[in-house]
Amino acid sequence: MGQHQVRDQRIYCQQGPDYLAATDDGALSGLSFVFKDLFDVAGYNTGAGNPAWLESHASAKATSPIIETLLSAGATCRGRVQTDELAYSLNGQNIHYGTPENPAAPGCIPGGSSSGSAVTVAQGDVDFSIGTDTGGSVRIPASYCGLFGLRPTLGKFDLTHCFELAKSFDTAGIFARDLSVLTSVYCELSTETVPDAVDPIPTLYLDRFMAQHLSEDRYQRVHDRCRWAGIALEEKDFITQSEWTLDGLSLLFRSIQGYEIIQKHGRWLTEHEDSLDPAILERVKWARTVADTTYQQGKLRQKAFRTWLYAQLDEHGGVWLLPTTPAGPPSLDISPQAMADYRTELMGLTAIAGLSGFPQLHLPFQGMTDGPCGMSLLGLPNEEGRLLAIAARLMAGEDSQ
């Protein structure tokens, strides 16, 4: 791609950079990537999916260490890509720049907020991409676009020189069509190695309540994959035998997130309300109602949930299998009320890794009757290597498209 080539603004940001050369040879030589419009590159403006943000902030003085690491490992950057406005959405829709077409499901939303990161990989523009995940912004578009997607342990990747949404939950994440590519990128960013095989092979656990809400097609695929891989799968009552509910986790997450967004960006949001998508503005107005005491109590509840989840995982082999999204991607013409209801259900699933800070790896299943979707592996903190090794065994013969 030429440095001055006009590209689809629904996907690619026009402020650049359009191209960054590798700064050295390394394990990622020959691979190309894009990055979400939340990461800084020295001399360029970060737009965060909103023209007013782009215009009201000076160009960056330094480059994200994530981007620098990838370039020094031999990868070539093919540009900056769009995000949902201020990363405060999970749909992949942006009223300012448009909605990228979902290559895996035309007529459906691509998922967000890392929409450009997912779509570029799904349509083959690049080998991998970097997004962020606060409430599901890597896991959800990975699911909707038929990709592998990793949300790592909270704090695993350096978020210096990256737009902050909600500090309790923000992570960087990776998209790829090929699991081996994602693994290589993870190793570079984490300076860790991933085992070639899992020994001993763990039993995977699937929450019975979640299993009951899977489509018949996806439920069967889960069991088939485990059987073919020689991995035992057991269903167990985790959520229903606890004090937690998915709706409650969704509300807990949204309350903490909303409060932190207002604390970080409240003044700017007040001064630029007229620049916001009405749906985003409604979310901002709700976030303003979260009281200090609600936030403080919420942080205590978050700690209690993390403690409970750690104990459950530790007792049951360290890995859960769970649906990344309730189903395949919703249609572009879904009603606002239906989308709001779906968002609550969706965030009940994504809040599990969000509130705990534990790593989650999305695995795409192809040819599903309800559209692109799949399952995730959820693990204990800093066990990404184990999740990737289990995924390689589970997904042998079924790469993403």
What is the full DSSP assignment across 315-332? HTTTEEEEESSSSSPPBT
The CA distance from 24 to 13, in Å, is 26
113 token code pair: 């907020």
32 token code pair: 């190309």
Which fold does the domain 1-401 belong to in CATH? Amidase signature (AS) enzymes (3.90.1300)
Confidence of residue 5 (pLDDT cuts 50, 70, 90): low
Confidence of residue 401 (pLDDT cuts 50, 70, 90): very low
Active site residues: 36, 113, 137
pLDDT, tens digit, 9 for 90 and up, residues 360-383 = 999 999 889 889 999 999 999 999
Full DSSP string of 72-107: HTT-EEEEEE--SGGG--SS---TTT-----TTSTT
- β-partners of residue 80 are 35
Q: pTM here?
A: 0.96
pLDDT, tens digit, 9 for 90 and up, residues 261-295 = 999 999 999 999 999 999 999 999 999 999 999 99
284 token code pair: 């901002």
